[in-house]
Amino acid sequence: MNPVPGTDIAVDIGILVKLGQQIAEIYGLTSNQFEYVKRLLGPRAVPVLLAKIAQFATKYLAREGVMTLLKQIAKRATAKEVSKWIPFVGPLIAAGIGWYTTFMFGDQLVGEAEALAREILNGIVAGSDLP
The model carries a pTM of: 0.72
Domain count, the chain: 1
CA atoms within 13 A on the CB side of 35: 2
Contacts of 105 by beta carbon, 8 Å cutoff, 6+ apart? 16, 19, 66, 69, 70, 73
| Domain that residue 43 falls in | 7-127
Separation CA 62–CA 7 (nearest Å)? 19
Indicate whether 67 belongs to any domain.
yes
Query: How many Å separate Cα 45 from the centre of its chain?
Result: 24
Separation CA 18–CA 80 (nearest Å)? 22
User: pLDDT tens track of the chain, all 131 residues?
Assistant: 344 445 566 777 788 888 889 999 999 888 788 777 777 777 776 677 778 887 888 888 888 888 777 677 655 556 556 655 667 776 777 777 777 778 888 898 999 999 999 988 887 787 755 44
